[in-house]
Amino acid sequence: MILSFISNLKSRNEALFYFGLLCLVFAIISLVLSKTSSAQVYNVSAWYKPFKFAFSTVFYAWAMAWFCYYLPNFNIKLFNWTVIILLGFEIFYIAFQAARGQMSHFNLSTPFYSAMYSMMAFAASAVTVYTAYVAYQFFVQKMPELPVHYLWSIRLGLIIFVIFAFEGFVMGSKLTHTIGGPDGGPGIPVLNWSTKFGDPRIAHFVGMHALQVLPLLSYYVLKNTKATILLSVLYLLLAVFTLVQALKGRSLFKDKQVTEQVK
């Protein structure tokens, strides 16, 4: 089944397939470097961030490769190269800074770092806007060959993705990914989501991966339009809940040290 999926994905969009594969290889390399390199940012391995961004990009690139195949009237080459160039630049710069033990995000300490941070924000925003355009195409173009429930899962998955991709500006405007305390505190393994304070990265993660979760569940499990829409609403509410908790400065995870001190 996996080999069949890979073969089908490659035939649908070879460019995004290989871009995703390259990101997957780089994610694995970054994970290895997180165990072998001494470079740190916020008291954890600097290579966790390149790993997370590259691995997340794998899922985005492959999902969009799969979905855009359904659009009969769409300039797929322009979309492909926009995604590859902009997200490729973002991953490259994050890795470049990780190798130097420097922050890539929220780093305004020099004019160069400020400019690069602004360019990353532009790259992410441009890809998100383009994704919103893809979502629009799934509403206006006719795709009678797709099951209605599956079509709605793609539409709603794209919409929720766009909303919570732009939620990244919550962190960008504050120049921090921790609310209620400083960055660099205790967090869960690898993802490093705060176990003491609010962390908007959780909502960012949950919301953006609606792009994969909703279509998969709709196509293989639900197979019903009303159930798909209901699941999408519940999923959206879950993402909103994690964001509200973060904005209140509340962690979704229990910090063992804090719990012991309270006792």
pLDDT in tens, 163-182: 999 999 999 989 999 999 99
Q: How many domains does the chain have?
A: 2
Against a cut of 0.85, is the pTM above it? yes
Q: How many CA atoms lie within 13 A of 263 on its CB side?
A: 6
Cα gap 84→16, rounded to integer Å: 8
Q: For residue 261, is pLDDT > 50?
A: no
Are 97 and 180 within one domain?
Answer: no
Cα gap 56→209, rounded to integer Å: 9
The β-bridge relationship of strands 40-41 and 44-45 is antiparallel
For residue 152, is it within any domain?
yes
Are 215 and 234 within one domain?
Answer: yes
Residue 258: pLDDT band (50, 70, 90) is very low
User: Last residue of a domain, which of 83, 118, 145?
Assistant: 145
Provide the terminal-to-terminal Cα distance of the chain, rounded to the nearest Å.
Answer: 51
Are 175 and 68 within one domain?
Answer: no
Mean pLDDT (whole number) for 193-204: 96
Residue 255: pLDDT band (50, 70, 90) is low
Contact assessment for residue 120 and residue 90, using Cβ atoms and an 8 Å cutoff: yes
For residue 259, is it within any domain?
no
